[in-house]
Amino acid sequence: MTAASAALSARLRTRTGGPDDLDGPTLFEHVLGWTLVIVVAMFVTGAGLL
């Protein structure tokens, strides 16, 4: 397979509805994730599990 045919097949492959390769998490998703971590840590320490 040549480089040109590999590039063409990568462009023509069927999309399955998943995330794009270059679509990373946004700042909003990072903030929500860390907020969830902090809330779970507060529940764990408040319940005396740690």
pLDDT range class, residue 5, cuts 50, 70, 90:
low
Non-local CB neighbours of 44 within 8 Å, separated by 6+ positions: 50
Would you place residue 3 in the very low, low, confident or very high pLDDT band (cuts 50, 70, 90)?
A: confident
Segments making up each domain of the chain, as ranges: 4-47
Q: For the segment 7-20, what is each residue's pLDDT rounded down to a tens digit?
A: 666 666 676 776 66
How far is it, in rounded angstroms, from Cα 1 to Cα 7? Answer: 10
DSSP conformation class of 26: -
Q: What's the pTM value of the predicted model, to 2 decimals? A: 0.52
pLDDT digits (tens, 9 = 90+) for 28-46: 999 999 999 999 999 999 9
